[in-house]
Chain A
Amino acid sequence: GAGVSQSPSNKVTEKGKDVELRCDPISGHTALYWYRQRLGQGLEFLIYFQGNSAPDKSGLPSDRFSAERTGESVSTLTIQRTQQEDSAVYLCASSSWTSGVSTDTQYFGPGTRLTVL
């Protein structure tokens, strides 16, 4: 596709429920990133996938958070037993590597606004 897409755009859930957020990166982009943005704040890194390498999970705030990526395409971020503090906009980004060199520029999707009641 032309850009990074995310679904759903908005998600309202009850505390304790599990949610799944989806990201479709730009076709051909081997690197995919998940970030979280709380209201009025900057972005916090969550997890990073690059090709077949083991993902960098260093930003995941707890074991309730997990993410998977199918090959070099779709990724899903799963939050189990959601808490009110999980309410935020979850943003996905992708970037390209050419001949083993990263372009470094990350292209962001529109985000999923998660509200936990």
Chain B
Amino acid sequence: SQQGEEDPQALSIQEGENATMNCSYKTSINNLQWYRQNSGRGLVHLILIRSNEREKHSGRLRVTLDTSKKSSSLLITASRAADTASYFCATGGAAGNKLTFGGGTRVLVKP
């Protein structure tokens, strides 16, 4: 089974609304990363949060990490149609090691 599980699996919102998705994982981690994927091809790195951090911001993105609950959330504020994509969380163990991905959240932002 996969380390990270995203919730919800799919999300449909209107442009301008906020989108929130969650990720849960099972084992201890070094870091947790969020990626975006358009059209089922290359992944774009969005943000990395380390295990000793609780919150991180990047533009319209806000990521939280709760290691006691083994969960993370990604918030996209003021969504745009261009944010339509699949979003994946991935957990990293020891430094530089492989990433373990969840199944992703498909986000549709309607104009």
Identify the A interface with B (CB < 8 A). 31, 33, 35, 37, 39, 41-45, 48, 50, 56, 59, 89, 91, 93, 95, 97, 101-102, 104-111, 113
Q: Count residues of chain B with CB under 8 A from any CB of chain A.
A: 26
Distance of A15 from chain B, by nearest CB (Å): 23
Specify which chain B residues have a CB less than 8 angstroms from the CB of A45 in the assembled complex: 98-100
Given A43-B88, A89-B41, A108-B43: A33 touches B98 (CB 8 Å cut-off): yes
A48 to B92, CA, bound (A): 13
Query: How many pairs of A and B residues are in contact by the CB < 8 Å rule?
Result: 66
**Contact indicator A91/B98 (Cβ below 8 Å):** no
Q: Are B101 and A48 in contact (CB under 8 A)?
A: no
Q: A43-B90, A43-B101, A111-B42 are in contact. List 7 more A-B contacts (CB 8 A).
A: A35-B99, A35-B101, A39-B40, A42-B102, A91-B42, A102-B96, A108-B35
